Amino acid sequence: MYIVTGGAGFIGSAMIWKLNQMGIDDILVVDNLTSSDKWKNLVNLRYTDYLHRDHFLKMVAGDGDPFETQGVVHMGACSSTTEKDADFLMENNTRYTQVLCRFALNNGARFVNASSAATYGGGEFGFSDDHAGIGRLKPLNMYGYSKQLFDLWALRAGVLDQIASIKFFNVFGPNEYHKGDMRSVICKAHRQIKDEGLMRLFRSYRPEYPDGGQMRDFVYIKDCVDILWWLLEHPEAGGVLNVGTGIARTWNDLANAVFAAMGKPSRIEYIEMPEIIRDKYQYLTRAEMGKLRTLGYTAPFMSLEDAVKDYVTGYLDMEDSYLDSRAV
């Protein structure tokens, strides 16, 4: 059995889709559905059972492996970069991950965990996933810090090379619709362009970056789950690992790709950035991908334009836009 925590969420449900593509449906989905629309991400997927996060945590905190687990893909976390409840993030993101990591290692199961590129803070120390630099990173928000604390714990405990802790950069793609304000700009822009014929981007407050010229490493969800599957199949590939494309593109590039995919002329309006985020805004993110390549992952990444086109025309434009395990 494979366990996917956060299995109804964005990356988690996409990972179940990937497992289904590989002929695997003996999957335990763990999540906290509450009253959200996350459950819709599961409708087209095949899995064995579902457990609420709290029930699952009680089961794995004991001795033994009640699930006969082959691998754990731990995507479950609060991913809001604006969450202010530090105690909640400590328990939900850091402690929970520590317990689950111990469970997997004690029972010989592969453990693949979602860290975050938010651990890099403003990027003043670069974006290298070399373990020697983990301790000097300074996340700009509590979410990033909660992820950083787990990586530091795994390093001190001497288990970091036995697991894979993934620092995802700007991931976009189907099954993110439930995320509200945390949806990708592409997802938000599609609706905005349909309704108003334009796309709004933040102005720049640094002279070296024009408006809309702030840069991100955008990576498609399908590329991400290909990497997660490869990591499950290659337990010798361990440590903190960046997952991006290694290429930084501007928000203007992204906007133009969305307009092109929708068959509309580009029309961008630049708006003021809220003051509350100006001091914490990242102007450049770019994953250093040499480590994953050195470990043996050789598959190419989709270009931004091709990925946006696939997302827009294959999902956002469709009435039923969720990943479907029946569609190969």
Q: Where are the extended beta strands (E) located within the chain?
A: 2-5, 27-31, 49-52, 71-74, 110-114, 164-168, 170-172, 199-202, 215-216, 218-220, 239-243, 249-250, 268-271
Active site residues: 143, 179
- DSSP sequence for 233-282: H-TT--EEEEES-S--EEHHHHHHHHHHHTT----EEEEPPPHHHHTT--
The phi, psi pair for 41, rounded to 5°, reads: -65, -20
> Cα dist. 284→103, 117, 326 in Å?
37, 12, 38
Find out whether 226 and 173 touch, Cβ atoms under 8 Å: no
- Name the nearest CA neighbour of 242 among 323, 137, 86: 137
Find out whether 304 and 249 touch, Cβ atoms under 8 Å: yes
Burial class (CB in 10 A: 0-12, 13-18, 19+), 199: buried
Find out whether 250 and 215 touch, Cβ atoms under 8 Å: yes
Could you tell me which residues are beta bridge partners of residue 5? 30, 74
Half-sphere exposure for 180 (CA within 13 Å, toward CB): 7
Burial class (CB in 10 A: 0-12, 13-18, 19+), 169: buried
